[in-house]
């Protein structure tokens, strides 16, 4: 196995990590108005992902950076050819991040409602568009000999790509709902379980059809068991959620996302971006990769720093492993740090720094429940 092949696998692993971890973040954001009946419920949901959401996005930065360094031609063609949808993803992620930080800076329902809408948009748009993006990568796009993608928006919105968007949207919603049942208590947990069952009614058939379509049209012999494992894990996650087996259900949905991503990358290989204009214009791991020296330097950097990053992120998940409850949520301060007049006695203090809900992460810390 040559270095370009190793780096293709490494990039697939990075995208898998991003979808597994950021997937439940997206799901929580999508479910914000559905599971959160009042402001306290919504703050429970936001604080459930408060300590980890920005760390999860590092996987996206690392995956895109690895594509740029290891396969510059792939990066250039894909990110320029899909410029509009990827721009929407970028704007959505910006709006979502800003909303997490600014939502708690004002003490009015109208203020928070607008930021809640930004969170929903910032979670829903990427959840759909990543599926459309990767479905088009596997299917291929019109591309000339210079690696310039000539596809228009209509060329990207094929039935297969739209099914890919529906699959990622429903799968991330299910993943996020299961995460909430695992990470919260009280009414949010009860409603999240109901949301998991409703989203599973879409995710399981959509995922099964999308995986079958991918395998039949683009898959290799070795991707068949991987696709089957993804479909089985998805169905198992839904059944486990229905039976209240929250930890195993979350593990199953994570495996389903990982196996589905492996199926997509396995179906793509050895190409990195097929051309529907002609196979001679395909970008492959060989003709799109950087020089051997560049890949060698990247490999040493990855060997040194990637374990440190993964260890730190694992440690942060361990530290913030406890459930989030309504009782841990202090009244949100008004803009400028003033406590609102209706602040109730006996509610916990606001914890400093690091949370999503405008700097109010009491529920994000281990609480000993």
Give the domain CATH number at 239: 1.20.1630
Which pLDDT value is given to residue 348?
A: 36
Is there a cis peptide before residue 270, judged by omega within 30 degrees of 0? Answer: yes
C-alpha radius of gyration, the chain, whole number: 21
Residue 324 lies in a domain: no
Q: How far apart are CA 45 and CA 325, in angstroms?
A: 9
Of the candidates 199, 220, 327, the residue with the CA atom closest to the CA atom of residue 265: 220
Which pLDDT value is given to residue 278?
A: 85
User: Is residue 215 a contact partner of residue 224, using CB atoms and an 8 Å limit?
Assistant: yes
Q: Which residue has the tokens 């970008």?
A: 283
Of the candidates 235, 232, 215, the residue with the CA atom closest to the CA atom of residue 224: 215
φ, ψ for residue 149 (rounded to 5)?
-80, 125
The boundaries of the domain holding residue 95 are: 3-306
Residue 36 lies in a domain: yes
Residue 290 lies in a domain: yes
Residue 135 lies in a domain: yes
Q: Return the DSSP state at 73.
A: H
Of the candidates 151, 150, 159, 152, the residue with the CA atom closest to the CA atom of residue 132: 159
Q: Both tokens of residue 368?
A: 């000993």
Which pLDDT value is given to residue 248?
A: 95
Per-residue pLDDT 10s for the chain (369 aa) are 899 999 999 999 999 999 999 999 999 999 999 999 888 899 999 999 988 998 899 999 999 999 999 999 999 999 888 999 999 999 999 999 999 999 988 888 889 999 999 999 999 999 999 999 999 999 999 998 888 888 888 888 999 999 999 999 999 999 999 999 999 998 999 999 999 999 999 999 999 999 999 999 999 999 999 999 999 999 999 999 999 899 999 999 999 999 999 999 999 999 999 998 888 899 999 999 999 999 999 999 999 988 998 898 899 899 988 898 888 777 665 544 444 444 333 333 333 334 445 444 444 443 333
Q: Which residues of 266-305 are buried (b: 16+ CB within 10 A; e: fewer)?
A: bbbbebbbbbebeeebbbbbeebbbeeeebeebeeebeee
Q: Both tokens of residue 189?
A: 């947990």
Burial class (CB in 10 A: 0-12, 13-18, 19+), 62: buried
Q: Which residue has the tokens 């979350």?
A: 250
Which pLDDT value is given to residue 333?
A: 57
> Measured between alpha carbons, how far is residue 332 from residues 22, 201, 228, 337, 348 in Å?
26, 36, 47, 9, 11
Residue 315 lies in a domain: no
Residue 23 lies in a domain: yes
Which pLDDT value is given to residue 164?
A: 96
Which pLDDT value is given to residue 10?
A: 95
Q: How far apart are CA 317 and CA 311, in angstroms?
A: 10
> Measured between alpha carbons, how far is residue 270 from residues 13, 217, 219 in Å?
16, 15, 12
Number of structural domains the chain divides into: 1
Q: Which residues of 32-51 are buried (b: 16+ CB within 10 A; e: fewer)?
A: bebbbeebbbbbbbbbbbbb
Strand 271-273 with 283-284, pairing = antiparallel
Which pLDDT value is given to residue 108?
A: 84
Residue 125 lies in a domain: yes
Q: Where do the DSSP E strands lie in the chain?
A: 271-273, 283-284
Q: Which pTM does this prediction carry?
A: 0.88
Q: How far apart are CA 82 and CA 300, in angstroms?
A: 31
Residue 77 lies in a domain: yes
Listed in sequence order, the residues at least 6 apart from 117 whose beta carbon sits closer than 8 Å to its beta carbon are none
């Amino acid at each position: 196995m040559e270095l370009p092949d190793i780096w293709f696998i490494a990039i697939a692993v990075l995208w898998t990590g991003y979808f597994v971890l950021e997937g439940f973040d997206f799901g929580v954001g999508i479910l914000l108005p559905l599971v959160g009946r009042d402001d306290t419920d919504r703050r429970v949901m936001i604080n459930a992902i408060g300590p980890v959401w920005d760390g999860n996005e590092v996987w996206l930065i690392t995956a895109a950076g690895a594509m740029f360094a290891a396969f510059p031609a792939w990066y250039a063609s894909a990110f320029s050819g899909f410029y509009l949808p990827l721009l929407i993803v970028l704007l959505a992620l910006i709006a979502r991040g800003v909303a997490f930080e600014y939502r708690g800076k004002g003490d009015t329902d109208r203020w928070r409602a607008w930021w809640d809408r930004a969170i929903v948009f910032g979670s829903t748009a990427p959840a759909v568009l990543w599926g459309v993006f990767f479905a088009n990568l596997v299917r291929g796009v019109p591309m000339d000999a210079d690696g310039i993608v000539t596809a228009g928006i209509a060329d990207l919105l094929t039935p297969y790509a739209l099914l890919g968007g529906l699959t990622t949207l429903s799968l991330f919603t299910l993943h996020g709902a299961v995460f909430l049942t695992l990470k919260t208590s009280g009414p949010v947990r009860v409603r999240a379980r109901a949301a998991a069952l409703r989203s599973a009614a879409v995710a399981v058939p959509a995922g099964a059809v999308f995986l079958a379509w991918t395998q039949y049209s683009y898959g290799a012999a070795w991707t068949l068991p991987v696709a089957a494992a993804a479909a089985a894990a998805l169905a198992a996650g839904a059944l486990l959620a229905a039976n209240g087996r929250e930890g195993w259900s979350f593990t199953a949905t994570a495996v389903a996302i990982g196996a589905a991503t492996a199926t997509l990358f396995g179906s793509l290989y050895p190409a990195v971006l097929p051309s529907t204009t002609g196979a001679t214009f395909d970008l492959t791991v060989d003709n799109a990769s950087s020089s051997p020296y560049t890949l060698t330097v990247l490999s040493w950097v990855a060997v040194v720093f990637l374990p440190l990053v993964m260890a730190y992120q694992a440690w942060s998940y361990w530290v913030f492993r406890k459930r989030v409850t309504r009782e841990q949520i202090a009244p949100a301060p008004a803009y400028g740090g003033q406590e609102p007049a209706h602040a109730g006695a006996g509610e916990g203090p606001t914890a400093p720094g690091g949370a999503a809900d405008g700097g109010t992460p009491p529920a994000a810390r281990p609480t000993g429940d």
